[in-house]
Amino acid sequence: MYKVFVNDKPIIITSSQKKENNFPVHILKNTVSEEIVHKLINGTTKGINLYTPDVEKGWQEFLNSFTIVSAAGGLVLNDKKEVLFIFRNGIWDLPKGRIEKGEQIKEAAIREVEEECGIFGLKIVKPLLTTYHVYFQEGIKLKETFWFLMTSNYRKELVPQLEEGITKVVFKNEEEIRKAFKNTYKNIILVYDTYKER
């Protein structure tokens, strides 16, 4: 199963015929991705299931209908097991950014977290997951973000990258994270839940 978010509404690409939600079901090979995206943006539908008998093949077909933008980021823990958050354009988020041409995914993840947060001494523990969301910038783009679990024992002041719309950088404990989740993206909750499950 793959999940792609459009304004926090999921497109679920699945080979399961069991209905696990109340979303309408469409046959993947009979759908136009752009129409599905517009349906989610302009309609009252809360999500859409795209059925395909072969989920990997169907997923590749789905990806082929978009321009893909690759990004990388981190869920960073300090020695108190608090999580590093940024406040960007009025929403709590995790640090991430575009992978530059010729750059390794892990390098990009560390560089982006360092640039956005003014933090150093990052170590990658392991990959967490890849998230997907659709956005509009000169047409429809699909952003795939590779997330890593990281640690840092950096204790100096954290500096938000203001030119990226980031106004706060802060480590949050579990209670503060729950509050932040009232004003964040579904993908960010997915990243955190994946970290907690493992």
- Residues whose CB is less than 8 angstroms from the CB of residue 125 and which lie 6 or more positions away in sequence, other chains included: 148, 149, 150, 151
73-197: CATH class: alpha beta
CB 15 within 8 A of CB 52: yes
Mean pLDDT of the chain: 95
Give domain limits for the chain.
2-64, 73-197
Where does residue 82 rank: exposed (0-12), middle (13-18), buried (19+ CB within 10 A)? middle
Question: Model's pTM, two decimal places?
Answer: 0.94
pLDDT in tens, 48-99: 999 999 999 999 999 999 999 999 999 999 999 999 999 999 999 999 999 9
17 pLDDT exceeds 90?
no
166 pLDDT exceeds 90?
yes
CB atoms within 10 A of CB 102: 6
CB atoms within 10 A of CB 129: 17
